[in-house]
Amino acid sequence: MVVRFRQPDSIGDMTLKWTPAPSGYDEALEPSGLPRGLYDSVVSTLGNFDQGEVRRREDLQEVSLVNQGITFTVYGEEEGTERVFPFDFVPRIIGSDEWQLLEAGLIQRVTAINLFLEDVYGDQRCLREGIIPFDLVLSRSDFRRELIGTRPRHGIFTHITGVDLLRGESGEFLVLEDNCRSPSGVSYVLENRNLLSRVFPEIFAKYGVRPVDLYPQMLLEALKFAAPRGRERPSVAVLTPGLDNSAYFEHSFLAREMGVPLVEGRDLIVENDQLSMRTTRGRQRVDVLYRRVDDLFLDPVVFNSGSLLGVPGLIHAWRAGNVTIANAPGAGVADDKSIYPWMPDIVRFFLDEEPLLGQIHTWIGRRADDAAYIREHLAELVVKLTDGAGGYGMLVGPTSSKKEIAEFATVFDANPEKYIAQPLVEFSSHPTWTGDDFSPRRVDMRPYVLYGETVKVLPGGLTRVAMEEGSYVVNSSQGGGSKDTWVLAEELVR
């Protein structure tokens, strides 16, 4: 059903079309095509615009993003290609009641993840008691044997976690994956809000939207809390691989917003197990390093000896307790896609609670039965590399051609243990401006969870949207865009 909103005569007499999702859950529209309660005001406000006005504002939005340099670098294209992350101005809205449940589930999950990490690099109780297979954990590429016996300050491994969520067919949130290394995207959460409030201020009028711009302060507090013992005024720095990294804008953004230096490996030096940065006033100690560099490149002495991105001696300084690395090296084992199926058991084991958040059934390639099932059902499944990210190296069976499936089967057969598979979840859609009208596009969401003195969740998150009709791929590297995510303080304040 198509709903048409007639706009006031003073603006024009054109109408904008809103089409509900033909299948799956529609976040904003009822199957009848009427807006869900929370979306009434957004839909009616946008109904007051004609196409020309929306396009004008969209252009303004685009120019603003380009001029501000809010871009990411695309790999595999011409060197240094900067691209704007497409932004859709129709906000995604989450009510306060639902958010409270989600927040509790996220806090529970991140707490359990940290206890799990402390355990696998410590006593390994969960392995010895058979909660999760010993060899599974120890064989993960992100498990760092070198770090066994290391406990970071306060036992916190994941100071920042991004948890990717989908809404299932009945609208319930499900965890798709955890990001425990250096989850990116939060800069877009803040910039999207900033942009939307300037370009479409009218749509905020009837909502009490919880602010997201406290994030840099929350992050800095969490990082400072993790500083080495005895450092009363700890110095914090953000470590970036450099300008060519796809997320460089974000690294720079976070350093700027927190008011701390953005450093590269060449700016740092370890002497006597202490990390320092080279400044115009000589070497200055660094207490907390918020690294946006993968484990293997952090320290050429311990990991990849050819790395120029890290700092020789950094891991030793960290193990000596003289510097905090956030997130801690080795944390990536918790977000390995092979560990994911055990996450509910991990929550039960460490917290003695039932998981508050559901997740998606997963077949694991390293199990012979599962591998056989995956192989037989490639056309129905989404198959992913266990240590992959960004939508690379995956197969979306139901939308792939026979040729693509056959080619993927050959790759899969060579190393089935490197893959997991999940059913294709008909995840939720959200009205999205296509240039002509508002059509359903699939969305996911990544809330950000900070672990400092307490575990806190930013009230908002990165809603990624598949900009192509029918597409399930929301990754920015593959053409996805993003939306502002509103968490309401109250359902409607006016």
Partner 1 sequence: MSVMLSRSAENIYWMGRYLERGGNLCRMLLVAEQLTVEIRGLAPSRTTEFWEAFADVFPGSPRLQESLDVDAARMAGLHSWLLGTENEFSVASSIHSARENARVVREYLTREVFEQINECWLKLDASVRVEHDPDALLSQVQHAIYGIGGAIGRTFSRDEAFGFLDIGVMLERVYRVLQLLRHRLPLLMDTPSEIDIPVHHALLRSALRSVGSLENYRRSNGAGMTPHAVASFLLFDTSSTHSVAFGVASIERSLAEIERGGVLTDAARKLGRLSSQLRYEERDLLGRHDFAAVCGGLAGDIEDVHESLTRLYFTV
For partner 1, the binding residues (CB under 8 A) are: 66-69, 235, 243, 248, 252-253, 255-256, 259-264, 266-267, 277-284
- The CB-of-65 to partner 1 minimum distance in angstroms stands at 11
- The CB-of-439 to partner 1 minimum distance in angstroms stands at 31
Q: What are the DSSP calls for 409-456, one per residue? A: HHHHHH-GGGEEEEE-----EEEEE-SSSEEEEEEEEE-EEEESSSEE
Q: Quick one: which of 317, 235, 219 has its CA closest to 279?
A: 235
Element (H, E) at 72: strand 71-73
Written as one letter, the residue type at 372 is: A
- The CB-of-24 to partner 1 minimum distance in angstroms stands at 39
Q: Output 106 or 238, the one with its CB closest to partner 1.
A: 238
- The CB-of-74 to partner 1 minimum distance in angstroms stands at 16
Q: Output 252 or 434, the one with its CB closest to partner 1.
A: 252
Distance CA 298, CA 307 (A): 8
Q: Output 4 or 256, the one with its CB closest to partner 1.
A: 256
What tokens appear for 183 in the block?
A: 């989850």
Q: Output 242 or 358, the one with its CB closest to partner 1.
A: 242
Q: Quick one: which of 483, 485, 447 has its CA closest to 464?
A: 483
Strand 381-385 and strand 160-167: the pairing is unpaired
What tokens appear for 139 in the block?
A: 């064989």
Element (H, E) at 125: helix 125-128
- The CB-of-302 to partner 1 minimum distance in angstroms stands at 24
- The CB-of-66 to partner 1 minimum distance in angstroms stands at 7
- The CB-of-243 to partner 1 minimum distance in angstroms stands at 6
Q: Output 121 or 253, the one with its CB closest to partner 1.
A: 253
- The CB-of-248 to partner 1 minimum distance in angstroms stands at 8
Q: Output 21 or 255, the one with its CB closest to partner 1.
A: 255
Q: Output 275 or 449, the one with its CB closest to partner 1.
A: 275
* Separate counts of helices (H) and strands (E) for the chain: 12, 25
Helix (H, G, I), strand (E, B) or coil at 217: helix
Q: Output 182 or 439, the one with its CB closest to partner 1.
A: 182
Q: What are the DSSP calls for 246-314, one per residue? A: TTHHHHHHHHHHHT--EE-GGGEEEETTEEEEEEBTEEEE-SEEEE-S-GGGT-TTTS-TT-SSS-TTH
